[in-house]
Amino acid sequence: MFSLTGKTALVTGGSSGIGLAVVRRFVAAGASVIVADLATTPALEQTGAAFSALDVTDEKRVAETFEAVEAKSGKLDILVNNAGIALQEGPLDETDIGVLQRTLEVNLLGVLFGLKHGPRHMKDGGSIINTASLAAHAVMPEYTAYSVSKAGVLKLTQQAALELSSRAIRVNAVCPGTTTTPMEPDDSAESRLCRYLTAAGRPGQPEEQAAVFHFLASDDSSYVNAQAINVDGGWVYGLNARHMEKLLA
């Protein structure tokens, strides 16, 4: 069940955090994995995955990376467009256009370039997984650029799923809630809010995200397509009982 034996996967942003947990999980399930990221890390080097230096905002390099991967490892079965950034933002009326542009470049164009150039180097019947975010659904003050970029990832996911249906390539998105990684450390405001804003009462761990990526990558999810799967401990559905009791006391 959920075997990835014999499958080849490319994971962007796989050197750290959620991407790294996905790489570990894919390797453990039998996949051959290539990570495309700005830089490698000692943790990645221990996984057995191959590494290719890539900035996902550089369209020419994205295309070249897919070509090189196919030449070396054959066509891909799985593509995970996961690389992303979360920059410090402010109120909407103080929007820093540089922050907005950089966020859209990495989080939105980075995924678009993966969807534009990746599929021609994939086998028919493959699986693409895009990392969106809880922020694509839930509104958080002062996260305009990030939220807009991730809402765009959901639309790209639906668009690609329908366009690639003739090749039976499925395209889904995972929407992580607050998950403890270098991007979202344990003491961040969002991590602390998880005590109240999730049914789980805590932030998620990268491994809890990776389990869902694993399912979506495997043939066991063959009828799951064009979906955005929330892995957020219940955040989008409101305050948990503990906090509700406090507010009403």
The token duo for 30 is 């039998």
Instruction: Give me the least distance between CB of 108 and ligand NAI, in Å please.
Output: 11
Choose between 119 and 177: whose C-beta lies nearer to ligand NAI.
177
Choose between 30 and 153: whose C-beta lies nearer to ligand NAI.
153
The token duo for 67 is 């070509």
Rounded CA separation 225/227 (Å): 5
Is residue 118 within 8 Å of residue 63, measured between CB atoms? no
Residues near 195 by beta carbon (within 8 Å), at least 6 away in sequence: 201, 202, 242, 243
Is residue 49 within 8 Å of residue 73, measured between CB atoms? no
Binding site for ligand NAI (CB under 6 A): 12-13, 15-19, 37-38, 54-57, 82-86, 106, 110, 131, 133-134, 176, 178-179, 181-184
Instruction: Give me the least distance between CB of 90 and ligand NAI, in Å please.
Output: 19
The token duo for 104 is 């859209």
Indicate which residue of 143, 146, 223, 237 is catalytic: 146
Rounded CA separation 228/249 (Å): 36
Choose between 176 and 233: whose C-beta lies nearer to ligand NAI.
176
Choose between 183 and 193: whose C-beta lies nearer to ligand NAI.
183
Please choose, from the candidates 189, 191, 196, the residue with its C-alpha nearest in 3D space to the C-alpha of residue 178: 191
Is residue 49 within 8 Å of residue 113, measured between CB atoms? no
Residues near 223 by beta carbon (within 8 Å), at least 6 away in sequence: none
Catalytic status, residue 146: yes
Choose between 39 and 247: whose C-beta lies nearer to ligand NAI.
39
Catalytic residue ranges: 146
